[in-house]
Chains A and B, each alone.
Chain A
């Protein structure tokens, strides 16, 4: 904003972006209606910095915009061929590490991973698929948990802990073996106090945590990211 105080502005791809003290580059950018691709960041939660899709360049450094504090006069590059390529590779890694079959996925059109991949011009997996054996937990009467699609963003972990006060979810394991855990003796969702009204039930950016029996009630073509690209979509839940 040209009228903003110079002390409250950083520069993103040649545009001035206002910020308030303590804000990150991604939060301020999002608030200003501009788009830096991201997956594990959500405006309601503290940054996690794990997916790296929001990586931007500041001088010689590549840093995640979700954890980068905005400072006066900071020069940030985001919309460059280099970063688009890097983000596309990160997305392709996420796709091949899980089992993402968009053609029959009920989240298609509402999926942040799919929409971001479209935005980055991803047309194929590039890498060989892992085809991991991941379970589907359908034990809960109202909620389906399809771990094939998990990208380990931890939003459900944070939502359950910080908003719902339940800690139903956690990330376990290390490195490539990192996976989503359910906090119950059986490891099944039905044996937790998880409820469909929990914040964690509606936070998943991909198709892991879904209400049962909804499926394709909303036609493909009429969904959130069918109507407009993710870069033009208001921040928040689908």
Chain B
């Protein structure tokens, strides 16, 4: 959320292994080593583990660097510039920011609702965005772990190795992503950072040529998406223990749902469930969503921790994204995806599925849903013609909530009478999942580290857990399994016992022995 800091901010979460956030003061006998974060969002993560005298992990922290300067850049800019400017925040899901900003500013220009044509075009654009992001994540980034095993040789954990051993899977991944990019181009004007959506509507229709092009490619894409869901389901079936247990923990779930309870990615109402699947809140207008949330502040990090105000920070944190969405909704409005959702839900035996690796399964169900919805939308003539812009009484503020590929994305703007933005507040998906990713790291550390010497395998297990959330540290994970990551093992006396570093080039380095590190300190 908007803060006083305008430059790179540390996103750092700290959770102890008992499941509750550790106090800000370090426990006696343990020591935390902080490494200054680099100034870019994507590409840099750090995990710090604190161990006791028995080499048992007592505390784990995931540090992410988030660049939040956009909230400041945008202040003082004319509101009509914002949907184009703010999407530069991300190269992975710019459409989500483009549309969240547009939705917020629709309220400012009094265009609620926007025209039917504009709504359908924006929906089409967003399905393309979620499709391409999910395809990129699953096929290019996650599939090497899932197909070759977490312990596979590092040189094999990349899409090129997938292309060698499973060329059909790799090829389909590339083409599914390409199809999503084409949907974005056809609606936004460019594959990345387009300008189709504006406050109050859209500035372009879909051309007949593009509709024909997309329509032609759809049948194969839908088939491949179904097979991708089946592939993940098969992986779960082959190793149920691993897939169910790995980085599994209970949490609340939060997302948009349609007013009819359906899966909703573009526009809807807020719903949250508890870990048992009971409704915590429902039907909350997106304009009121900021009233639901509070953010915890830690003295050692700029990034705040969102939680449901009604439950407080200890009970109110939640997960967002595909795993939350497909279990938060009552049904998916597209038949093939709904059928596979039912199969997925059976895994939970009446309760929500909480396994982190189940994110992949849920993500592929959403990918299939996106394609089914694209097929439905392409048949609608309102994409080709009809009013694109709406307007009404000018307002001073607006909130836009959208389900970005990684989870709930909130944009809020206040605009002065002179048309300049006076306040910008962004809560991005990765922030919502910050606590959850720390829980995942803790769970993996507890199960697989257990006082052992740090190994490359452990490093990758932690990376696999983080990657399941497809966080927007994800441009790191989006570097073909070469997320720069540093793992530090600290003894009870504060000595750095061991340290491993994975460079951006994929090299695994042990920067120094305990003695050398001690001397250096």
Residue numbers of A with Cβ under 8 A of B are 101, 103-106, 136, 138-139, 144, 212-221
Contacts and interface: CB of A to CB of B under 8 A. Distances in A.
B418 interface: yes
Contact of B81 (A215, A218, A219, A221): A215
Given A103-B84, A216-B198, A218-B203, 18 more contacts: A101-B85, A103-B85, A104-B84, A104-B85, A105-B81, A106-B81, A138-B420, A139-B418, A144-B419, A213-B419, A215-B78, A215-B84, A215-B199, A219-B189, A219-B195, A219-B203, A220-B189, A221-B189
A166 B77 CA distance: 28
Interface in B57-79: 76-78
Nearest to B82: A104
Contact of A136 (B85, B196, B198, B420): B420
B80 A106 contact: yes
Contacts of A213: 80, 419
A219 B198 CA distance: 10
Nearest to A213: B80
> What 10 pairs between A and B have smallest CB-CB spacing?
A215-B80, A104-B85, A138-B418, A220-B195, A216-B195, A219-B203, A138-B420, A219-B204, A104-B84, A221-B189
A221 B195 CA distance: 9
B80 A214 contact: yes
Contact of A144 (B78, B83, B194, B204): B78
10 contacts: A103-B85, A103-B193, A138-B416, A138-B419, A144-B78, A213-B80, A216-B195, A219-B195, A219-B203, A221-B190
Given A104-B84, A136-B77, A216 B203 contact: yes
B309 interface: no
Contacts of A216: 80, 83-84, 195, 198, 203
Interface centre among A105, A136, A139, A216 (most CB of B within 10 A): A216
Interface residues of B, number: 23
A106 B84 CA distance: 9
Contact of B203 (A139, A144, A217): A217
A67 B419 CA distance: 41
Nearest to B83: A216
Interface in B84-98: 84-85, 88
B200 to A, nearest CB: 9
Interface centre among A104, A105, A217 (most CB of B within 10 A): A104
Contacts of B193: 103
B194 A212 contact: no
Contacts of B419: 138, 144, 212-213
A141 B416 CA distance: 12
A105 B88 CA distance: 12
Interface centre among A106, A136, A219 (most CB of B within 10 A): A219
B392 to A, nearest CB: 13
Nearest to B196: A219
A139 B420 CA distance: 10
Contacts of A221: 189-190
A135 to B, nearest CB: 9
A101 B81 CA distance: 12
Contacts of A214: 80
Interface centre among A138, A144, A212, A215 (most CB of B within 10 A): A215
Nearest to B197: A216
B102 to A, nearest CB: 10
Interface in B295-352: none
A138 B78 contact: yes
A212 B78 contact: yes
A68 B194 CA distance: 43
A212 B416 CA distance: 13
Contacts of B85: 101, 103-104
B103 to A, nearest CB: 16
A217 B195 CA distance: 9
Contacts of B76: 136
Contacts of A139: 418
Nearest to A140: B418
